[in-house]
Every structure is written in structure tokens, then in C-alpha cells.
Amino acid sequence: MLFGRWRTFFLHIFQLLPRARLHVTECILSAPSGNISSPNFPGLYPYNLHCSWLIVVPEGSSVLLSFHHFELEHHASCAYDYVKIYNGVSEDEGNLLGNFCGDTPPPRFTSSWNVMSLIFHSDRHVAFRGFSAGYTKGAPFHLDSLLMHCLRYECASIMESMWIYSPQTRICSNTRT
């Protein structure tokens, strides 16, 4: 009987606590170069965030993205705090280049057209310093170039060459050289 009273008391207190709300921000960056960082960087990022940046450079160009600092909560599948990078708009999961967390910065990315998206998400428990990244307008993309994306220990090339990803060096190399 005593347990039932305590349970009722804690349920009542829990209902009075404010609910955590997800704060959503969306930005469109259209300059030929710029910087992106998690909110409050280099301080701790806030809880319950979902920030999205759409990078759009002049048509015919590519987007070059590189990270200067990266420190997010680690999880084996990046389920809590993460950065997702998309080749194009983020609504298309087929464009996902990678999902990253922890303290190992993502590799440099080059988009295959003039748009790239970056999503930052934080949950309601643990916060770190976050990230800072820079982007620039890259050279025009040509179908005969060897533009590749090295992700999840695999490499894909539009020229269908054999590429192998080295997790130690985080570099793709052509096995047909």
C-alpha cells in the first residue's frame, strides 16, 4: 500500500515537470563559401535540437565540405546526437552520404551537384562542444571525373573502378593502378 502512494506521488510530480521540446532551425546558405557550427560552439550545444542547413552554390558547381572540429556524443549507430550529410536535399534518404557522431570528424565531401544538406540533431541528455565546418564552391562536376564518396568502409565511383576504403587512413584508393 505504501508503494502505491509513492507511485502516485511520483506520477503526479512527473506530470508537473515541463516536457522537453525539440527546437528546430532551418537555414539556407547561398554564399560561395561559409562556415557552419553547432549552436553555442565552442561551448556545449543545447539539448533537443534539430538544425538543418541547405548549402546552395552557383549552378554547375559542386560543394566542398570539411570539418574543423567534431565532438558529439558517441553511440555505435549514432542514434542520439549526430550529424547527417546529404548529397543534395535531406528529404531523400538515397542522398545520405553518412551519419556521424563521436569525436572522429567526418571525411571531406564533394557534392555531385550544387546542393548539399547538413542535419545536426541532439537528444535530451548529453551535450558536447559540437562541430565547426566550412564549405566552399568547388569546380564544376563532370561525368568523366572520378568523384567518389567513401562511406561506411565502401567506395563508389561513377566510373565503376575498383576502390577500397582504408579505415586507418580514411582514404579511398584505386586498386587498378
Considering the domain boundaries, does residue 13 fall inside one? no
Report the CATH number at residue 75.
2.60.120.290
List the domain range (segments joined by +) for residue 164. Answer: 143-177
> Based on the number of CB atoms within 10 Å of its own CB, is 126 exposed (0-12), middle (13-18) or buried (19 or more)?
middle
In the chain, the number of structural domains is 2
Q: pLDDT of 129-170, one tens digit each?
A: 999 999 999 987 654 443 444 444 444 443 333 444 444 444
Q: Do residues 80 and 162 both lie within one domain?
A: no
61 domain-assigned: yes
Start-end of H helices in 21-124: none
Query: Do 131 and 164 have their domain in common?
Result: no
Query: Where is pLDDT greater, at 61 or 12?
Result: 61
CA distance 67 to 157: 23
71 or 91, higher pLDDT = 71
Separation in Å, CA 174 to CA 31, 69, 108, 125, 141: 34, 29, 18, 42, 20
Q: Quick one: 29 and 92 in the same domain?
A: yes
First to last CA, the chain: 76
Please report whether residue 163 resides in a domain. yes
Question: Is 8 strand, coil or helix?
Answer: helix
- Whether 25 and 85 map to the same domain: the answer is yes
Cis peptide before 107 (omega within 30 of 0): no
Average pLDDT over residues 82-106: 93
Closest CA to 137 of 109, 114, 119: 114
pLDDT at residue 174 in the model:
46
Could you read off the pLDDT of 38-87 as tens digits, one per residue?
999 999 999 999 999 999 999 999 999 999 999 999 999 999 999 999 99
Residues 135 and 147 in one domain: no
Domain identity same for 88 and 153: no
Model pLDDT for residues 117-129, shown as the tens digit of each residue: 999 999 999 999 9
Residue 5: inside a domain = no
Same domain, residue pair 151 and 174:
yes
Say whether pLDDT at 103 is over 90.
Answer: yes
* Confidence (pTM): 0.69
